[in-house]
């Protein structure tokens, strides 16, 4: 028996516990005719599932996920693949073949033939076509941090923050070696500006955006120095160490009331 049989109803083999009894007429169709129709539907679904699994096997191990589109204009095929249970049965069929990456894909069904068949996999000749839509890679962003005031506030300026490289960037006084008890700062304020803490704040990249978050050394509520964002001339102080404030182009980050850094989106 095919591995797919177990995921369908007891009628998969055309039998059930009442198959030997007389089939009463109901709505103009005998019980036997209904069973025969159900079995034909199940057999066709099994054929389609097996064809789809075989067609995408060469792509086993594909990374990133995405979507799977199934096209047919055959009325019998359309009935099967438009069934509400078809996507979950297909996912289980993939799982049974150790192809979980396809089982997690979103399945879309079309009962019209694709306009460009050359870009699709032909699972059943002339009747069933499949397209794999790969999920887009994570969005990347870059921002530059420049010394606004004073102009020698940073050990290096400008500093490019690239989300493709990392998602967490430290701001603090001095760029400390990683093998010491103090962290290494990506945005290193010159040592002479001692109102800035050695661990003053962080810039975090999350869900396609950059945020500023104060650390204890840059939060007055924690006994540290102040951290502000100046936007359109209006200052906003970071009052705790757990909230994240969205950064925008041309924002000014003020550290310890002495150093101002400008944010520019590239």
Report angle CA 61, 206, 233 to the nearest 5 degrees: 160
Euclidean distance between CA atoms 230 and 19, whole angstroms: 79
- Closest listed residue to residue 52, CA positions, set 87, 76, 82, 84: 87
265 neighbors 143 (Cβ within 8 angstroms): yes
Q: What is the pLDDT of residue 105?
A: 83
Q: What is the pLDDT of residue 9?
A: 39
pLDDT digits over 8-22, tens only? 333 334 444 443 444
Q: Could you give phi then psi for residue 55, rounded to 5 degrees?
A: -65, -35
Residue 2, token pair as written in the block: 């095919």
Residue 17, token pair as written in the block: 């516990």
pLDDT digits over 144-188, tens only? 999 999 999 999 989 999 998 999 999 999 987 555 566 899 999
pLDDT digits over 54-66, tens only? 988 888 766 656 7
pTM to 2 decimals? 0.51
Q: What is the pLDDT of residue 204?
A: 96
Measure CA of the first residue to CA of the last residue in the chain; give whole Å: 60
Residue-averaged pLDDT of the chain: 83
User: Tokens 């079995």 correspond to what residue?
Assistant: 39
pLDDT digits over 31-77, tens only? 777 778 888 888 999 999 999 999 888 887 666 567 888 999 898 89
Sign of CA dihedral 81, 82, 86, 90: positive
Q: What is the pLDDT of residue 180?
A: 56
pLDDT above 50 (res 1): no
Euclidean distance between CA atoms 264 and 8, whole angstroms: 58
Q: Tell me the pLDDT band of 26, cut-offs 50, 70 and 90.
A: very low
């Amino acid at each position: 028996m095919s591995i797919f049989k177990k995921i369908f109803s007891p009628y998969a083999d055309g039998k059930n516990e009442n198959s030997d009894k007389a089939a009463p007429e109901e709505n103009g169709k005998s019980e036997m005719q209904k069973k025969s129709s159900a079995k034909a539907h199940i057999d066709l679904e099994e054929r389609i599932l097996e064809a789809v699994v075989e067609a995408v096997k060469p792509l086993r191990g594909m990374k990133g996920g995405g979507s799977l589109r199934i096209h047919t204009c055959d009325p019998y095929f359309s009935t099967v693949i438009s069934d509400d249970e078809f996507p979950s049965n297909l996912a289980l069929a993939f799982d049974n073949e150790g192809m979980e990456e396809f089982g997690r894909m979103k399945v879309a069904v079309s009962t019209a033939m694709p306009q460009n068949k050359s870009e699709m996999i032909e699972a059943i000749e002339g009747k069933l076509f499949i397209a794999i839509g790969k999920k887009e890679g994570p969005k990347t962003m870059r921002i530059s941090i420049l010394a606004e005031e004073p102009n020698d506030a940073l050990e290096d300026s400008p500093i490019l923050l690239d989300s493709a490289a990392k998602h967490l960037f430290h701001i603090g006084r001095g760029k400390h070696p990683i093998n010491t008890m103090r962290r290494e700062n990506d945005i290193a304020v010159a040592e002479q500006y001692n109102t800035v803490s050695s661990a003053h704040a962080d810039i975090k990249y999350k869900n396609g955006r950059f945020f500023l978050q104060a650390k204890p050394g840059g939060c007055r509520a924690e006994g540290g120095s102040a951290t502000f964002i100046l936007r359109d001339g209006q200052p906003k102080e970071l009052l705790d160490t757990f909230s994240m404030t969205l950064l925008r182009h041309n924002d000014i980050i003020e550290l310890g009331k002495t150093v101002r850094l400008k944010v520019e989106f590239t």
